[in-house]
Amino acid sequence: MSTQNVAPVYPRPPMYYKRYTDENLAILKQVKEHGEDAFVASGGTLPNFNIFELEPPPPVTEGRYFSFNEPWTVVDVLPSLEESEQKQLYPSGEIDRVAELKKLNNSAIFNFLELLNSLVKEPERSLDKLEQIKTIFVNMKHMLNEYRPHQSRETLRLMMRNQLENRRRATEEIQNRCSEFSKKLEAVKTSWKALDELKMDLARCSSLKDDLDFEIKTQNTQSEEITDPNTYNISQETTQKMLEMIDG
């Protein structure tokens, strides 16, 4: 039995990862700021490898790169069926993709029925039918993948529209809250104004009471005894204050 080389899912990290110590990174920072000669002249010691190897490599701008032993192109382009070594069953150029997808779907159903028939009558042909069905589904998948850019644009447009609508609702809610707060603030201001007026009225009443008490006390000192309250003489000034308070 022949052995197969199976690539690990997660490749082992390169051994130079051990060089990324805090000390080496601090040396790299000083060398970049002052230069190697100045660093050595100041008494520093360089490691036994090129210190600039610790810097990350520049990003790949063209071609392809490998990640987990799989090649990836820098520009995400859908490879053609020919590049994927697959047979193309639909015509190239501007076509009615919906109609072509329906044709491929009908062809897949027809070949599946033939596969069932071949399994009963001619089992040796079943592998060929399986390959035909596989080719049909590969073509359908490739045609659907060609819609991905359009799907991405529509998804992004829908996402931006939803974000805009959410922001509008949030703005409207904030404006409503601000309006309610302004109304409550005006009500508080009105209450404070009424309270201030009430305090002023109480102060005027207290002042008027003091004036009346003073006049009564003065008249009591001038007369021996007054048994009838109607005999009290209130001054014109105090009377005027009482009338103003009543009218106010």
Give yes or no for a contact between 50 and 80, defined as CB atoms under 8 angstroms apart: no
Rounded Cα distance, 189 and 165, in Å: 36
Question: Using 50, 70 and 90 to split pLDDT, how confident is the model at 1?
Answer: very low
More confident residue, 49 or 211: 49
Other beta carbons within 10 angstroms of residue 136's beta carbon come to 22
pTM of model > 0.75: no
Give yes or no for a contact between 90 and 100, defined as CB atoms under 8 angstroms apart: yes
Is residue 3 scored above 70 in pLDDT?
Answer: no
pLDDT reported for residue 75: 78
Residue 72, strand partner residues: 65
Continuous segment of H or E residues that includes residue 213: helix 148-222
Residue spans per domain, the chain: 15-73, 205-248
Q: What is each CA distance from 94 to 40, 90, 144, 154, in whole angstroms?
A: 67, 11, 15, 21
Question: Using 50, 70 and 90 to split pLDDT, how confident is the model at 39?
Answer: confident
CA-nearest of 84, 134, 102, 138 to 126 is 134
| 132-187 residue pLDDT tens | 999 999 999 998 988 888 889 999 999 999 999 999 999 999 999 888 888 888 88
| 221-243 residue pLDDT tens | 655 454 454 555 555 665 665 55
Is residue 110 scored above 80 in pLDDT?
Answer: yes
